[in-house]
Amino acid sequence: MIYDVVIIGAGPAGLSAGLYAARARMNTLIIEKEAAGGQIATTDEVANYPGSAENATGPSLVSRMVEQAEEFGAKRITDTIESVDVTGKVKILKGENEEYQAKTVIVATGAVPKHIGCPGEKELTGRGVSYCATCDGAFFEDLEVFVVGGGDSAVEEAMYLTKFARKVTIVHRRDELRAAKSIQEKAFKNEKIDFLWDSVITDLKGDGLLETMTVKNVKTGEETEIHADEDDGTFGVFVFIGYDPANKLFEGLVEMENEYIVTDDNMRTNVPGVFAAGDNRVKSLRQVVTATADGAIAATQAEKYIEENFG
């Protein structure tokens, strides 16, 4: 069988693409190697997705997206794609379980934030440890937060967090920031922002919520334990040390920039019939709302491509 659209990835971008493609009566297949949902599946609360229910969680939102895509007729399977051939008019995707053929491919493989890699980080994610200031900043109203990183994103997110937190400390492994000078100047002028130089976080602890972290000075080797304020009971650690887009499969096949897939506004890559949607493409904001928009655009453009090239 030759599918009209094969979507790789079942996060918000892939599920949105699947919904739109299937609703347009295209023969649609969504391939996901793990559980559906991507990063949002691990989010306890989704407060900034327009129209979401008051107590919406990542898993509940994903569950509804899956239902919608399948209601319209999208087929969803679990497989790991190991190689792709996008050179021909019909694209060939070889998975661990099966080989698939498609008139168009939408790459919605996502990206994952780089982690600190210290003990306690995984267990306390969503319980004090976050990788998204826009998603979680409001939960730290009048609390103290620490931002890990020294690039543009880290410093910009630190400034954003000053809208909520009473104090923001940037923890950076070097003795100067890597962010653009204009961004640095704004941060240095902000009275709510402090800096912890030459430092890395080596341990995070807490019973249900983050309560303690250990910071090591990379030059002296000295370790310091930082505790939550007694009245607060917790604090926040926001990690902004980069993302790892899941694009290895397409390296050398489509145009990329810093490992992200380059697309135009219509989600088209430089390879005809291949589209990208979501966090794995070059873009300025990586949120559920932009991922779903990408997916909708990609599916609509895939339909136009099929009409023009397959009659």
For this structure, is 198 an active site residue?
A: no
For this structure, is 118 an active site residue?
A: no
Catalytically annotated residue among 4, 135, 279, 294: 135
HEC secondary structure over 1-39 = CEEEEEEECCCHHHHHHHHHHHHCCCCEEEEECCCCCHH
Phi, psi of 221 (to 5 degrees): 80, 0
What the block records as the tokens of 120 is 């306690």
For this structure, is 136 an active site residue?
A: yes
Mention every residue, 6+ apart, whose C-beta is less than 8 A from residue 78. 31, 32, 33, 34
Catalytically annotated residue among 136, 231, 232, 264: 136
Q: Which of 266, 280, 304, 296 is nearest to 110 (CA)?
A: 280
CA distance 275 to 263: 7
Q: Which of 120, 137, 115 is nearest to 212 (CA)?
A: 120
Strand boundaries in 183-282, DSSP class E: 193-196, 199-205, 212-217, 223-227, 236-239, 243-245, 256-257, 260-261, 274-276
Residue type, 101: Q
CA 269 from centroid of its chain's CA atoms: 20
Residues in the chain: 311
User: Active-site positions?
Assistant: 132, 135-136
